Chain A
Amino acid sequence: MSRIDLAFSALSDPTRRVILARLAEGEAQVAALADMAGISQPAVSRHLKVLEEAGLIGTRIAGTSRPRRLRPEGLVDVRTWLEQMQAVFEENYRRLDALLAELPETPTPSPED
């Protein structure tokens, strides 16, 4: 799977989206994430592994603690996003083309309108 497919696949699970949303607010320990998601630590660890392999999160080593943190750059494939954005705008603008072709001549609006 490509990087972006891995990311989408990782994001397809609601628990993993909850974990990501929590990490978007700041780094967190595995135990805290398990508490928050209401699942066991081994279960949360499995989800974290998927997220880490997809490049969406990273682990910080701080003495004996291993807090997980979001890797925003992993979520962002800028080119893909721009392509999506372009597709949505263009779809709207094609409808606008059709609408404009139907509009009768309109007087220029004035600032007092």
Chain B
Amino acid sequence: MPLPAKVSIEGDATVVVTRDFDAPRAAVWRAHSEPALLKRWLLGPPGWEMHVCEMDFRPGGSYRWRWRNVDAGVEFGFDGEVLALDPPARMEERQTYIPGTVGGEMGTCDNVLTLTEIDGGTRLVTRISYADRATMEAAMATGMTDGMEMSYALLDGVLADGDA
């Protein structure tokens, strides 16, 4: 069982997420580049489904990701642009948060994913870079309020069912 993901802040405005996988690098790459596979794991908290995952996965291509809360029906997403690909080692993309009916503002960030072979598996490092510290803090603030919005939306769904 791999160790849990590590999240840290690098420099002024970059978040770094590191996680090892007991799988070959090609498989980890596939799971990040094929929509049918992405939809099975890139879901976030329980109760969300990725109902849109359209990807033109090549340099200069774009993608569209949308998530929907299965109970509350609220939606949000990311629009992305593939900046550079070096399979199966590196992908670089620019993501813009789409508030949908969830709301908030997270702006745009550049993500660089690097996959390296380690003993018996793959190390995935994701670097999420915001324009500056203020932008990152705004994203953090939205992330926290959105987390709450999502919880409220879930609660609303439960209350509507008359279970609470």
Contacts and interface: CB of A to CB of B under 8 A. Distances in A.
A90 B140 CA distance: 18
A56 B6 CA distance: 29
Given A103-B27, A109-B29, A97 B141 contact: no
A108 B30 CA distance: 9
B76 interface: no
Interface string B75-117: 0000000000111100000000000000001000000000000
Interface in A78-113: 78, 80-82, 84-86, 88-93, 95-101, 103, 105-111, 113
Contacts, number: 120
Contacts of A88: 44-45
Q: Which of A12, A93, A95 has the most CB of B within 10 A?
A: A93
Contacts of A84: 143-144, 147
Q: Which of A12, A73, A84, A96 has the most CB of B within 10 A?
A: A96
B37 interface: yes
B87 A110 contact: yes
B156 interface: no
A11 B148 contact: yes
Contact of B138 (A72, A90, A93, A101): A72
A81 B144 contact: yes
B147 A92 contact: no
Given A11-B148, A24-B138, A75-B140, A89 B7 contact: yes
B43 A93 contact: no
A39 to B, nearest CB: 20
B31 interface: yes
A86 B4 contact: yes
A33 to B, nearest CB: 18
Interface string A30-74: 000000000000000000000000000000000000000000110
B139 to A, nearest CB: 9
Contact of A100 (B22, B45, B152): B22
17 contacts: A11-B148, A75-B144, A85-B17, A88-B45, A90-B4, A93-B5, A95-B40, A95-B41, A96-B31, A96-B41, A97-B23, A99-B41, A100-B31, A108-B26, A109-B29, A109-B30, A110-B87
Interface of A: 8, 11-12, 17, 24, 72-73, 75-78, 80-82, 84-86, 88-93, 95-101, 103, 105-111, 113
